[in-house]
Amino acid sequence: MSLAGKKLLLIIGGGIAAYKSLDLIRRLRERGASVRAVMTGAAQEFVTPLSVGALTGEKPFTELFDAASEFDVGHIRLAREADVIVVAPATADLMAKMANGLANDLATAILLATHRPVLVAPAMNPAMWTHPATQRNFAQLIADGISAIGPNQGEMAESNETGTGRMAEPVEIVAAVENLIAIAPDKSSLKGKRVLVTSGPTREPIDPVRFISNQSSGKQGHAVARAAAAAGAEVVLISGPVELPDPSGIKTIHVNTAAEMLKAAEAALPVDVAICAAAVADWKIDDAAPEKMKKANGGPLTLCLSENPDILSTIAHHKRRPKLVVGFAAETEKILDNAKAKLAKKGCDWIVANDVSPETGVFGGERNTVHLVTREGVEDWPTQSKEAVAGALVRRIADTLKRAGK
Ligand code: CTP
Q: Which residues contact 297 (CB under 8 A, 6 or more apart)?
A: none
CA 224/CA 381 separation, integer angstroms: 16
CA 118/CA 145 separation, integer angstroms: 8
Q: Judge contact between 347 and 317, C-beta under 8 A.
A: yes
Question: Pick from 95, 75, 61: which is nearest to 165 by CA?
Answer: 95
Which protein residue has the closest C-alpha to ligand 1 atom 16?
329
- What is the set of domains in the chain, with CATH numbers? 7-183 (3.40.50.1950), 194-404 (3.40.50.10300)
Q: Which residues of the chain have pLDDT under 50?
A: 71
Ligand 1 centroid to Cα of residue 329, in Å, is 7
Q: Judge contact between 173 and 252, C-beta under 8 A.
A: no
The CB of 85 under 6 Å from ligand 1? The reply is: no
The CB of 328 under 6 Å from ligand 1? The reply is: yes
**327-346 core/surface letters (b: 16 or more CB in 10 A; e: else):** bbbbbeeebeebbbebbeeb
Looking at residue 43, its pLDDT comes to 97
Looking at residue 220, its pLDDT comes to 93
256 is catalytic: no
Ligand 1 centroid to Cα of residue 270, in Å, is 21
The CB of 350 under 6 Å from ligand 1? The reply is: no
Q: Judge contact between 243 and 199, C-beta under 8 A.
A: no
What confidence tens digit (pLDDT) does each residue in 37-50 have? 999 999 999 999 99
Q: Judge contact between 229 and 247, C-beta under 8 A.
A: yes
The kind and range of the H/E element at 274 are: strand 273-276
Which protein residue has the closest C-alpha to ligand 1 atom 21?
329
Looking at residue 76, its pLDDT comes to 79
Going from the C-alpha of 194 to that of each of 199, 229, 319, 320, 346, the distances in angstroms are: 16, 10, 17, 13, 22
The CB of 327 under 6 Å from ligand 1? The reply is: yes
The CB of 10 under 6 Å from ligand 1? The reply is: no
DSSP assignment of 157-205 equals SSSS-EEEEEPPPHHHHHHHHHHHHHHPPPTTTTTT-EEEEEESB--EE
The CB of 204 under 6 Å from ligand 1? The reply is: no
The CB of 240 under 6 Å from ligand 1? The reply is: no
Question: Pick from 222, 213, 197: which is nearest to 368 by CA?
Answer: 222
The CB of 218 under 6 Å from ligand 1? The reply is: no
Looking at residue 298, its pLDDT comes to 76
Ligand 1 centroid to Cα of residue 292, in Å, is 29
329 CA closest ligand 1 atom index: 20
Which protein residue has the closest C-alpha to ligand 1 atom 28?
282
Give the phi and the psi of residue 105 in degrees, each rounded to 5. -145, 180
Ligand 1 centroid to Cα of residue 293, in Å, is 29
What confidence tens digit (pLDDT) does each residue in 43-89 have? 999 999 999 999 999 999 998 876 555 545 577 788 888 999 999 99
326 CA closest ligand 1 atom index: 15
Ligand 1 centroid to Cα of residue 202, in Å, is 11
Looking at residue 142, its pLDDT comes to 82
Strand blocks (E) in 16-138: 34-39, 84-90, 118-122
